[in-house]
Amino acid sequence: MGRLLIKNAKALVGTHPAGVERVGGAAMGHLPAVEDAWLLAEEGRITSFGTMAEWPGVSDWNGLEVIDATDRYVLPGWCDPHTHTVFAAPREEEFVMKIRGASYQDIAAAGGGILNSARKLRAMDEDDLFQQAEARLREMMRQGTVAVEIKSGYGLSFESELKMLRVARRLGEALPLQVRTTLLAAHALPEEYKHDRAGYLCLITDELLPAVADEKLADFIDVFCETNYFTVAEMERVLEAGARFGLPGKVHVNQFTSLGAIRAAVKHGALSVDHLEVMEEADLFALDGAATIPTLLPSCSFFLRIPYAPARALIDRGCAVALATDHNPGSTPSGNMNLVVSLACIQLRMLPAEAINASTLNAAAAMGLAHELGSITVGKRASLIITRPVPSLAYLPYSFGSDHIDTVIIDGKPERSGEALA
Protein backbone atom coordinates (compact mmCIF):
# COMPACT_ATOMS: atom_id res chain seq x y z
CA MET A 1 0.00 0.00 0.00
CA GLY A 2 3.00 2.28 0.36
CA ARG A 3 3.35 5.44 2.40
CA LEU A 4 1.25 8.56 2.61
CA LEU A 5 2.04 11.98 4.03
CA ILE A 6 -0.62 14.63 4.63
CA LYS A 7 0.89 18.01 5.52
CA ASN A 8 -0.29 21.54 6.34
CA ALA A 9 -3.77 20.39 7.36
CA LYS A 10 -5.90 23.13 8.86
CA ALA A 11 -6.70 20.53 11.51
CA LEU A 12 -6.79 16.78 12.06
CA VAL A 13 -10.24 16.23 13.53
CA GLY A 14 -11.32 13.37 15.79
CA THR A 15 -7.92 12.58 17.30
CA HIS A 16 -9.36 10.47 20.09
CA PRO A 17 -6.81 8.66 22.28
CA ALA A 18 -6.19 4.95 21.80
CA GLY A 19 -8.70 2.87 23.71
CA VAL A 20 -11.56 5.35 23.33
CA GLU A 21 -14.04 3.47 21.17
CA ARG A 22 -17.18 5.53 21.79
CA VAL A 23 -18.19 8.83 23.38
CA GLY A 24 -21.48 9.46 25.13
CA GLY A 25 -23.42 12.27 26.72
CA ALA A 26 -21.61 15.58 27.13
CA ALA A 27 -18.40 14.03 25.76
CA MET A 28 -20.05 13.86 22.34
CA GLY A 29 -19.70 17.64 22.16
CA HIS A 30 -15.91 17.38 22.41
CA LEU A 31 -14.10 16.67 19.15
CA PRO A 32 -10.36 16.59 19.79
CA ALA A 33 -8.24 18.10 17.05
CA VAL A 34 -4.66 18.95 16.16
CA GLU A 35 -4.34 22.23 14.26
CA ASP A 36 -1.79 23.02 11.54
CA ALA A 37 -0.93 19.37 11.33
CA TRP A 38 0.69 16.51 9.46
CA LEU A 39 -0.12 12.80 9.35
CA LEU A 40 1.90 9.81 8.15
CA ALA A 41 0.42 6.46 7.13
CA GLU A 42 2.26 3.29 6.18
CA GLU A 43 0.79 0.09 4.79
CA GLY A 44 -2.70 1.51 5.22
CA ARG A 45 -2.34 2.40 8.92
CA ILE A 46 -1.83 5.71 10.73
CA THR A 47 1.70 5.63 12.14
CA SER A 48 2.17 9.16 13.46
CA PHE A 49 0.83 12.72 13.38
CA GLY A 50 1.40 16.08 15.02
CA THR A 51 1.75 19.81 14.46
CA MET A 52 3.75 21.21 11.57
CA ALA A 53 5.91 23.04 14.10
CA GLU A 54 7.01 19.64 15.39
CA TRP A 55 7.18 17.87 12.03
CA PRO A 56 10.35 15.78 11.91
CA GLY A 57 10.58 16.03 8.14
CA VAL A 58 11.14 13.22 5.65
CA SER A 59 14.40 11.36 5.17
CA ASP A 60 13.13 8.85 2.61
CA TRP A 61 10.84 10.15 -0.16
CA ASN A 62 10.79 6.87 -2.08
CA GLY A 63 7.28 5.60 -2.55
CA LEU A 64 5.85 8.47 -0.48
CA GLU A 65 2.60 10.05 -1.70
CA VAL A 66 2.25 13.61 -0.47
CA ILE A 67 -0.98 15.54 -0.01
CA ASP A 68 -0.94 19.25 0.75
CA ALA A 69 -4.04 19.88 2.90
CA THR A 70 -3.57 23.65 3.30
CA ASP A 71 -6.83 25.28 4.50
CA ARG A 72 -8.47 21.83 4.63
CA TYR A 73 -9.75 19.66 7.45
CA VAL A 74 -8.84 16.00 7.72
CA LEU A 75 -11.53 13.84 9.32
CA PRO A 76 -12.03 10.12 9.92
CA GLY A 77 -14.07 8.69 7.07
CA TRP A 78 -17.81 8.27 7.62
CA CYS A 79 -19.00 4.94 8.99
CA ASP A 80 -22.56 3.91 8.05
CA PRO A 81 -23.85 1.26 10.48
CA HIS A 82 -27.35 0.71 9.07
CA THR A 83 -28.08 0.19 5.36
CA HIS A 84 -30.07 -2.00 3.00
CA THR A 85 -27.82 -1.20 0.05
CA VAL A 86 -28.24 -4.58 -1.68
CA PHE A 87 -31.59 -4.39 -3.46
CA ALA A 88 -32.91 -5.19 -6.91
CA ALA A 89 -34.69 -2.01 -7.98
CA PRO A 90 -35.76 1.43 -6.76
CA ARG A 91 -39.38 2.10 -5.78
CA GLU A 92 -40.03 5.56 -7.16
CA GLU A 93 -43.65 4.61 -7.92
CA GLU A 94 -44.21 4.35 -4.17
CA PHE A 95 -42.59 7.77 -3.81
CA VAL A 96 -45.38 9.19 -5.97
CA MET A 97 -47.95 7.32 -3.83
CA LYS A 98 -46.48 8.98 -0.73
CA ILE A 99 -46.79 12.41 -2.34
CA ARG A 100 -50.44 11.66 -2.97
CA GLY A 101 -50.94 10.88 0.70
CA ALA A 102 -50.31 7.15 1.16
CA SER A 103 -48.50 6.20 4.35
CA TYR A 104 -45.72 3.61 4.73
CA GLN A 105 -48.31 1.26 6.21
CA ASP A 106 -50.82 1.96 3.39
CA ILE A 107 -48.25 1.03 0.77
CA ALA A 108 -47.30 -2.15 2.61
CA ALA A 109 -50.96 -3.16 2.91
CA ALA A 110 -51.34 -2.72 -0.86
CA GLY A 111 -48.51 -5.19 -1.54
CA GLY A 112 -45.77 -2.60 -1.82
CA GLY A 113 -42.91 -1.87 0.50
CA ILE A 114 -40.64 -4.70 1.64
CA LEU A 115 -42.66 -7.38 -0.17
CA ASN A 116 -42.36 -5.40 -3.41
CA SER A 117 -38.58 -5.39 -3.05
CA ALA A 118 -38.61 -9.09 -2.20
CA ARG A 119 -40.45 -10.02 -5.39
CA LYS A 120 -37.96 -8.09 -7.49
CA LEU A 121 -34.89 -9.42 -5.70
CA ARG A 122 -35.94 -13.05 -5.91
CA ALA A 123 -36.10 -12.70 -9.69
CA MET A 124 -32.66 -11.08 -10.06
CA ASP A 125 -29.45 -12.91 -10.85
CA GLU A 126 -26.75 -12.69 -8.16
CA ASP A 127 -24.22 -11.06 -10.48
CA ASP A 128 -26.69 -8.37 -11.54
CA LEU A 129 -27.52 -7.75 -7.89
CA PHE A 130 -23.81 -7.42 -7.14
CA GLN A 131 -23.20 -4.96 -9.97
CA GLN A 132 -26.03 -2.69 -8.90
CA ALA A 133 -24.92 -2.67 -5.27
CA GLU A 134 -21.29 -2.10 -6.26
CA ALA A 135 -22.27 1.06 -8.14
CA ARG A 136 -24.16 2.35 -5.09
CA LEU A 137 -21.22 1.66 -2.79
CA ARG A 138 -18.76 3.39 -5.13
CA GLU A 139 -20.93 6.49 -4.98
CA MET A 140 -21.05 6.26 -1.18
CA MET A 141 -17.26 5.96 -1.07
CA ARG A 142 -16.95 9.17 -3.13
CA GLN A 143 -19.16 10.81 -0.50
CA GLY A 144 -16.72 9.82 2.24
CA THR A 145 -18.07 6.50 3.52
CA VAL A 146 -15.28 4.09 4.46
CA ALA A 147 -17.29 1.40 6.27
CA VAL A 148 -20.83 0.16 5.82
CA GLU A 149 -23.18 -2.38 7.34
CA ILE A 150 -25.41 -4.15 4.79
CA LYS A 151 -28.54 -6.09 5.75
CA SER A 152 -30.40 -8.84 4.01
CA GLY A 153 -34.19 -8.81 4.35
CA TYR A 154 -35.38 -8.38 0.77
CA GLY A 155 -35.11 -12.07 0.03
CA LEU A 156 -37.50 -13.48 2.63
CA SER A 157 -36.73 -17.02 1.49
CA PHE A 158 -33.93 -19.44 2.25
CA GLU A 159 -32.11 -19.06 -1.08
CA SER A 160 -32.72 -15.35 -1.59
CA GLU A 161 -31.56 -14.35 1.88
CA LEU A 162 -28.37 -16.32 1.31
CA LYS A 163 -28.03 -14.68 -2.11
CA MET A 164 -28.17 -11.21 -0.55
CA LEU A 165 -25.59 -12.03 2.09
CA ARG A 166 -23.25 -13.62 -0.47
CA VAL A 167 -23.48 -10.43 -2.53
CA ALA A 168 -22.69 -8.34 0.55
CA ARG A 169 -19.65 -10.48 1.33
CA ARG A 170 -18.49 -10.22 -2.30
CA LEU A 171 -18.76 -6.45 -2.06
CA GLY A 172 -16.47 -6.47 0.95
CA GLU A 173 -13.93 -8.51 -0.99
CA ALA A 174 -14.15 -6.45 -4.18
CA LEU A 175 -14.10 -2.93 -2.71
CA PRO A 176 -11.63 -1.26 -0.35
CA LEU A 177 -14.17 -0.12 2.26
CA GLN A 178 -15.02 -2.26 5.29
CA VAL A 179 -18.31 -4.17 4.94
CA ARG A 180 -20.25 -5.75 7.81
CA THR A 181 -23.25 -7.95 7.07
CA THR A 182 -26.48 -8.60 8.94
CA LEU A 183 -29.12 -11.32 8.59
CA LEU A 184 -32.50 -9.56 8.52
CA ALA A 185 -34.74 -12.40 7.37
CA ALA A 186 -37.24 -11.20 10.03
CA HIS A 187 -37.92 -8.05 7.99
CA ALA A 188 -41.48 -8.89 6.94
CA LEU A 189 -43.65 -11.98 6.67
CA PRO A 190 -43.33 -13.35 3.11
CA GLU A 191 -46.51 -13.90 1.13
CA GLU A 192 -46.16 -17.69 1.17
CA TYR A 193 -46.05 -17.64 5.00
CA LYS A 194 -48.90 -15.18 5.45
CA HIS A 195 -50.85 -17.76 7.45
CA ASP A 196 -47.87 -19.51 9.04
CA ARG A 197 -45.82 -17.09 11.20
CA ALA A 198 -44.47 -19.96 13.29
CA GLY A 199 -43.28 -21.74 10.17
CA TYR A 200 -41.36 -18.71 8.93
CA LEU A 201 -39.73 -18.13 12.30
CA CYS A 202 -38.65 -21.78 12.31
CA LEU A 203 -37.17 -21.30 8.83
CA ILE A 204 -35.07 -18.43 10.20
CA THR A 205 -33.93 -20.04 13.44
CA ASP A 206 -33.61 -23.68 12.38
CA GLU A 207 -32.57 -23.49 8.73
CA LEU A 208 -31.30 -20.07 7.71
CA LEU A 209 -29.16 -19.34 10.74
CA PRO A 210 -27.20 -22.62 10.57
CA ALA A 211 -26.62 -22.12 6.84
CA VAL A 212 -25.51 -18.51 7.32
CA ALA A 213 -23.18 -19.55 10.13
CA ASP A 214 -21.75 -22.41 8.07
CA GLU A 215 -20.82 -20.05 5.23
CA LYS A 216 -19.80 -17.24 7.64
CA LEU A 217 -22.10 -14.85 5.79
CA ALA A 218 -23.25 -12.60 8.66
CA ASP A 219 -21.74 -10.61 11.50
CA PHE A 220 -25.06 -9.64 13.13
CA ILE A 221 -28.74 -10.59 13.43
CA ASP A 222 -31.64 -8.15 13.00
CA VAL A 223 -35.44 -8.06 13.38
CA PHE A 224 -37.98 -5.46 12.31
CA CYS A 225 -39.88 -5.28 15.60
CA GLU A 226 -42.95 -3.21 14.78
CA THR A 227 -46.74 -3.36 14.65
CA ASN A 228 -47.82 -5.62 11.74
CA TYR A 229 -44.30 -7.01 11.41
CA PHE A 230 -42.67 -8.90 14.31
CA THR A 231 -43.53 -8.84 17.99
CA VAL A 232 -41.18 -8.32 20.92
CA ALA A 233 -41.43 -12.01 21.80
CA GLU A 234 -40.58 -12.98 18.21
CA MET A 235 -37.65 -10.57 18.24
CA GLU A 236 -36.36 -12.16 21.43
CA ARG A 237 -36.65 -15.61 19.90
CA VAL A 238 -34.58 -14.56 16.87
CA LEU A 239 -32.01 -12.76 19.04
CA GLU A 240 -31.60 -15.85 21.22
CA ALA A 241 -31.13 -18.01 18.13
CA GLY A 242 -28.59 -15.55 16.70
CA ALA A 243 -26.66 -15.54 19.96
CA ARG A 244 -26.24 -19.31 19.74
CA PHE A 245 -24.32 -18.69 16.51
CA GLY A 246 -22.32 -15.77 17.87
CA LEU A 247 -24.34 -13.06 16.10
CA PRO A 248 -25.05 -9.94 18.21
CA GLY A 249 -28.29 -8.08 17.59
CA LYS A 250 -28.68 -4.86 15.61
CA VAL A 251 -32.43 -4.36 15.62
CA HIS A 252 -35.10 -2.14 14.07
CA VAL A 253 -37.25 -0.78 16.91
CA ASN A 254 -39.58 2.13 17.70
CA GLN A 255 -39.94 3.40 14.14
CA PHE A 256 -43.71 3.85 14.33
CA THR A 257 -44.73 2.50 17.75
CA SER A 258 -43.26 1.83 21.17
CA LEU A 259 -43.69 -1.85 22.03
CA GLY A 260 -41.12 -2.35 24.80
CA ALA A 261 -38.59 -3.67 22.29
CA ILE A 262 -35.70 -1.50 23.49
CA ARG A 263 -35.74 -2.96 26.99
CA ALA A 264 -35.84 -6.49 25.50
CA ALA A 265 -33.00 -5.72 23.06
CA VAL A 266 -30.81 -4.34 25.86
CA LYS A 267 -31.57 -7.42 27.97
CA HIS A 268 -30.33 -9.61 25.12
CA GLY A 269 -27.13 -7.59 24.70
CA ALA A 270 -27.95 -6.01 21.35
CA LEU A 271 -25.06 -3.98 19.94
CA SER A 272 -27.45 -1.32 18.67
CA VAL A 273 -31.11 -0.33 18.57
CA ASP A 274 -31.94 1.53 15.37
CA HIS A 275 -34.57 4.09 14.29
CA LEU A 276 -36.10 5.25 17.63
CA GLU A 277 -38.42 7.81 16.04
CA VAL A 278 -41.16 7.08 18.60
CA MET A 279 -39.80 7.06 22.16
CA GLU A 280 -41.52 6.99 25.54
CA GLU A 281 -39.94 7.63 28.90
CA ALA A 282 -39.62 3.89 29.55
CA ASP A 283 -37.69 3.51 26.28
CA LEU A 284 -35.25 6.25 27.26
CA PHE A 285 -34.90 4.74 30.73
CA ALA A 286 -34.05 1.34 29.22
CA LEU A 287 -30.96 2.88 27.59
CA ASP A 288 -29.66 4.48 30.80
CA GLY A 289 -26.19 3.04 31.38
CA ALA A 290 -26.66 0.41 28.66
CA ALA A 291 -23.87 -0.65 26.32
CA THR A 292 -26.39 -0.80 23.49
CA ILE A 293 -25.89 2.06 21.01
CA PRO A 294 -28.91 4.07 19.82
CA THR A 295 -28.50 4.54 16.07
CA LEU A 296 -30.59 7.30 14.51
CA LEU A 297 -31.65 7.58 10.87
CA PRO A 298 -32.73 11.18 10.20
CA SER A 299 -32.85 10.87 6.41
CA CYS A 300 -35.56 8.21 6.85
CA SER A 301 -37.64 10.65 8.90
CA PHE A 302 -37.01 13.32 6.26
CA PHE A 303 -38.15 11.11 3.40
CA LEU A 304 -41.20 9.60 5.13
CA ARG A 305 -42.18 12.84 6.90
CA ILE A 306 -42.35 11.06 10.26
CA PRO A 307 -41.02 12.30 13.63
CA TYR A 308 -37.29 12.58 14.18
CA ALA A 309 -35.60 10.58 16.92
CA PRO A 310 -35.03 12.50 20.20
CA ALA A 311 -31.28 12.87 19.90
CA ARG A 312 -31.04 15.54 22.59
CA ALA A 313 -32.89 13.45 25.16
CA LEU A 314 -30.62 10.48 24.41
CA ILE A 315 -27.43 12.54 24.65
CA ASP A 316 -28.61 14.21 27.84
CA ARG A 317 -28.98 10.71 29.36
CA GLY A 318 -25.38 9.94 28.53
CA CYS A 319 -25.97 7.74 25.48
CA ALA A 320 -23.35 7.25 22.77
CA VAL A 321 -25.57 8.14 19.81
CA ALA A 322 -24.65 6.93 16.32
CA LEU A 323 -25.96 8.06 12.93
CA ALA A 324 -26.61 6.08 9.75
CA THR A 325 -28.29 6.51 6.36
CA ASP A 326 -30.76 3.59 6.31
CA HIS A 327 -30.03 3.49 2.56
CA ASN A 328 -32.84 1.49 0.97
CA PRO A 329 -35.22 1.72 -2.01
CA GLY A 330 -38.39 2.49 -0.05
CA SER A 331 -37.84 4.91 2.79
CA THR A 332 -34.33 6.33 2.28
CA PRO A 333 -33.02 6.18 -1.28
CA SER A 334 -29.77 7.93 -0.33
CA GLY A 335 -26.49 6.65 1.06
CA ASN A 336 -25.05 10.14 1.58
CA MET A 337 -23.69 10.47 5.11
CA ASN A 338 -23.01 14.18 4.55
CA LEU A 339 -26.77 14.74 4.28
CA VAL A 340 -27.26 12.69 7.46
CA VAL A 341 -24.78 14.88 9.35
CA SER A 342 -26.59 18.01 8.16
CA LEU A 343 -30.03 16.64 9.07
CA ALA A 344 -28.71 15.64 12.49
CA CYS A 345 -27.74 19.26 13.12
CA ILE A 346 -30.80 20.84 11.51
CA GLN A 347 -33.55 18.49 12.67
CA LEU A 348 -32.12 16.58 15.65
CA ARG A 349 -30.47 19.70 17.12
CA MET A 350 -27.14 17.95 17.41
CA LEU A 351 -24.07 20.17 17.53
CA PRO A 352 -21.62 19.71 14.62
CA ALA A 353 -19.11 18.03 16.94
CA GLU A 354 -21.81 15.65 18.20
CA ALA A 355 -22.94 14.78 14.68
CA ILE A 356 -19.36 14.12 13.53
CA ASN A 357 -18.62 11.91 16.55
CA ALA A 358 -21.91 10.09 15.88
CA SER A 359 -20.95 9.48 12.24
CA THR A 360 -17.38 8.39 12.88
CA LEU A 361 -16.37 6.90 16.24
CA ASN A 362 -19.82 5.94 17.54
CA ALA A 363 -20.94 4.74 14.11
CA ALA A 364 -17.87 2.52 13.92
CA ALA A 365 -18.70 1.19 17.39
CA ALA A 366 -22.25 0.40 16.22
CA MET A 367 -20.82 -2.17 13.83
CA GLY A 368 -17.95 -3.41 15.96
CA LEU A 369 -15.24 -1.52 14.11
CA ALA A 370 -14.19 1.19 16.56
CA HIS A 371 -10.84 -0.53 17.10
CA GLU A 372 -10.15 -0.05 13.38
CA LEU A 373 -11.96 3.11 12.30
CA GLY A 374 -13.80 6.20 13.48
CA SER A 375 -10.92 8.34 14.76
CA ILE A 376 -7.49 9.60 13.81
CA THR A 377 -5.52 7.37 16.14
CA VAL A 378 -2.13 5.74 15.69
CA GLY A 379 -2.63 2.13 14.63
CA LYS A 380 -6.07 2.58 13.10
CA ARG A 381 -6.80 2.34 9.40
CA ALA A 382 -5.86 5.44 7.44
CA SER A 383 -9.40 5.89 6.07
CA LEU A 384 -9.92 9.62 5.92
CA ILE A 385 -11.79 12.54 4.40
CA ILE A 386 -9.97 15.69 3.30
CA THR A 387 -12.35 18.60 2.85
CA ARG A 388 -12.21 21.40 0.36
CA PRO A 389 -11.16 24.75 1.86
CA VAL A 390 -13.96 25.69 4.28
CA PRO A 391 -14.05 28.36 7.00
CA SER A 392 -14.96 26.02 9.87
CA LEU A 393 -16.17 22.53 10.74
CA ALA A 394 -19.66 23.91 11.33
CA TYR A 395 -19.71 24.96 7.68
CA LEU A 396 -19.86 21.31 6.60
CA PRO A 397 -23.39 20.60 7.95
CA TYR A 398 -24.44 24.24 7.54
CA SER A 399 -23.90 24.36 3.78
CA PHE A 400 -25.83 21.14 3.24
CA GLY A 401 -26.41 21.41 -0.49
CA SER A 402 -22.76 21.46 -1.52
CA ASP A 403 -20.06 18.84 -1.91
CA HIS A 404 -17.28 19.77 0.53
CA ILE A 405 -15.10 16.70 0.01
CA ASP A 406 -11.82 17.03 -1.87
CA THR A 407 -10.17 13.65 -1.29
CA VAL A 408 -11.27 10.31 0.18
CA ILE A 409 -8.57 7.94 1.41
CA ILE A 410 -9.25 4.31 2.33
CA ASP A 411 -6.49 2.28 3.95
CA GLY A 412 -3.92 4.87 2.96
CA LYS A 413 -4.92 4.90 -0.73
CA PRO A 414 -6.81 7.79 -2.37
CA GLU A 415 -10.15 6.52 -3.67
CA ARG A 416 -11.30 9.99 -4.68
CA SER A 417 -8.59 12.38 -5.77
CA GLY A 418 -9.04 16.12 -5.50
CA GLU A 419 -6.96 19.28 -5.79
CA ALA A 420 -5.09 18.56 -2.56
CA LEU A 421 -3.64 15.43 -4.13
CA ALA A 422 -2.84 17.03 -7.43
What CATH number should be reported for the domain holding residue 235? 3.20.20.140
Q: Indicate if 236 and 169 belong to the same structural domain.
A: yes
- In this structure, the answer to whether residues 47 and 165 fall within a common structural domain is no
Q: Residue 26: how many CB atoms within 10 A of its CB?
A: 11
Express each pLDDT in 76-130 by its tens digit: 999 999 999 999 999 999 999 999 999 888 888 888 889 999 999 999 999 999 9
* Residue 134 is assigned to a structural domain of this protein: yes
156 within some domain: yes
Residue 345: name the closest of 396, 406, 285, 392 by CA.
396
The answer to whether residue 167 is domain-embedded is yes
Task: Indicate which CATH number applies to the domain containing 58.
Answer: 2.30.40.10
Whether 407 and 295 share a structural domain: no
Residue type, 248: P
Say whether 54 sits in a helix, a strand or coil. Answer: helix
Q: What is residue 332's three-state secondary structure?
A: strand
Q: What 8-state DSSP symbol labels residue 16?
A: P
Q: Are residues 195 and 222 in the same domain?
A: yes
Q: Are residues 134 and 39 in the same domain?
A: no
Q: Is 136 a domain residue? A: yes
pLDDT of residue 422: 66
Give me the number of domains the chain comprises: 2
Domain-located, residue 370: no
Kindly indicate the confidence band of residue 374, based on its pLDDT and cuts at 50, 70 and 90: very high
Angle subtended by helix axes 126-142 and 158-174, to nearest 10? 40
Closest CA to 220 of 151, 129, 305: 151
Please check whether residues 157 and 91 belong to one and the same domain.
Answer: yes
The pLDDT of residue 408 is above 70: yes
pLDDT in tens, 334-367: 999 999 999 999 999 999 999 999 999 999 999 9
Residue 312 has pLDDT above 80, yes or no: yes
Are 344 and 391 in the same domain? no
Is-contact 378 103, C-beta < 8 A? no
**Calpha distance 368→27 (Å, rounded):** 20
Percent of the chain whose pLDDT exceeds 90: 92
Task: Tell me the average pLDDT across 227-251.
Answer: 98
Looking at the fold, whether 71 and 140 belong to one and the same domain comes out as no
CA torsion 206-212-214-217 (nearest 10°) is -170
Quickly state the pLDDT bin for 10 (edges 50, 70, 90): very high
pLDDT greater than 90 at residue 134: yes
Domain, as residue range, for 324: 79-365
Q: Could you tell me if 316 and 206 lie in one domain?
A: yes
pTM above threshold 0.95 = yes
Do 218 and 101 share a domain, yes or no?
Answer: yes
Q: What does the alpha-carbon distance between residue 374 and residue 361 come to, in Å, rounded to a whole number?
A: 4
Reply yes or no on whether the pLDDT at 1 is more than 60.
no
52 & 168 share domain: no
Helices (H), 179-260: 197-202, 209-215, 232-244
